[in-house]
Amino acid sequence: MLDVLWLQSGGCGGCSMSLLCADTPDLTGTLTAAGLRLMWHPSLSAESGADLLALLDDILQGRRRLDLLCVEGALLRGPNGTGRFHLLAGTGEPMTDWVRRLAGVATHVAAVGSCAAWGGISASGDNATEACGLQFENDQPGGLLGAAFRARGGLPVINIAGCPTHPGWVIDTLMALAADSLHEADLDALQRPRFYADHLVHHGCARNEFYEFKASAEQPSDLGCLMEHMGCKGTQAHADCNTRPWNGQGSCTRGGYACISCTEPGFQDPGHPFHQTPTLAGIPIGLPTDMPKAWFVALASLSKSATPRRVKNNARADHIVVTPAIRKTRLK
């Protein structure tokens, strides 16, 4: 069994809430069957106070093995680097100190959610709490543990990024570690598991026909593509949200909301309202990944000139107003 300790630092607890909504009727049974034993979780465990402190002492003294340390929430280094904005209750010691010590004896360390990975929402704006991720500060290596950190198992911090992170990403990562099948080559340049980070939110988006013809939504209730006017970054964000729907059927874009690229470092401070697309001479500044601007302009112009009336009209409506034509077909 892989023994897992889960700590919550500076964040909202949304990643734990997301995990509890995993598409399984028995989360604890799923983890146990995969060889995972949850030693302690602040919301799911009955033990608290002295019992927890005794467990942490056993881990640090080598009496209990710590296979995987999961940290949810940003690490709060303030004020002035003391970490005293967040003390572990009952100890008088900063959570940052506890995390450093526990990470030093853990076989693996995982940052659950974008706050723990990069600082996330907790590091927004002036970042008065000096929030950072475990091994990154936004997209810069370092964070609390330092760029050179490696857990005892040899891996750097595994960044299961997302705000909140998809429950499937967490479960699959933990299962891969339990099966000893997650290696450094399975992590991307930002140390995210590649099984979800090698995809784009754009893949499988239910609005892709509208994207192909550049038939765009103009207000939140419209069916059209959300990229041109509504701030969607699904063509740039690394995640498989639309090919692995949340709870089997949902995603931000399916619900009518633009992708805000919550798996990416710095997503919390885009420099413009999330629901708006910044443009230059009418062209979105944030173009699809790997697409040169000249190609996009040419493709958009050609696509718009070829847009069927059905697609154009439906894009600016909150329901299908023109249905696809029915034509005789013959299978051969």
pLDDT digits (tens, 9 = 90+) for 258-314: 999 999 999 999 999 999 998 877 778 887 887 777 777 787 788 888 899 999 999
Kindly report the CATH number assigned to the domain that includes residue 264.
4.10.480.10
Q: Is residue 220 part of a domain?
A: yes
Q: Is residue 327 part of a domain?
A: no
State whether 207 and 139 are in the same domain: no
State whether 79 and 215 are in the same domain: no
Region 80-87: mean pLDDT is 97
Kindly report the CATH number assigned to the domain that includes residue 61.
3.40.50.700
103: helix, coil or strand? helix
State whether 210 and 102 are in the same domain: no
In the chain, the number of structural domains is 2
Average per-residue pLDDT for the chain: 93
Residue 236 reports pLDDT greater than 80: yes
State whether 214 and 298 are in the same domain: yes
Q: Could you check whether the bond before residue 193 is cis, i.e. omega within 30 degrees of 0?
A: no
Region 244-254: mean pLDDT is 90
Q: Is residue 132 part of a domain?
A: yes
**Residue-by-residue DSSP string for 275-332:** T---EETTEESSPPTT--HHHHHHHHHHHHHT--HHHHHHHTSSS--SPPPP------
User: Burial, 153: exposed, middle or buried (Cβ in 10 Å; 0-12, 13-18, 19+)?
Assistant: middle
Residue 61 reports pLDDT greater than 80: yes
pLDDT digits (tens, 9 = 90+) for 87-132: 999 999 999 999 999 999 999 999 999 999 999 999 999 999 999 9
pLDDT of residue 24: 81
Domain end marker among 163, 197, 231: 197
The domain containing residue 212 runs over which residues? 200-322
**Sequence-distant (≥ 6) Cβ neighbours of residue 57 within 8 angstroms:** none
Region 163-173: mean pLDDT is 96
State whether 245 and 184 are in the same domain: no
Q: Is residue 32 part of a domain?
A: yes
State whether 45 and 81 are in the same domain: yes
Q: Is residue 330 part of a domain?
A: no
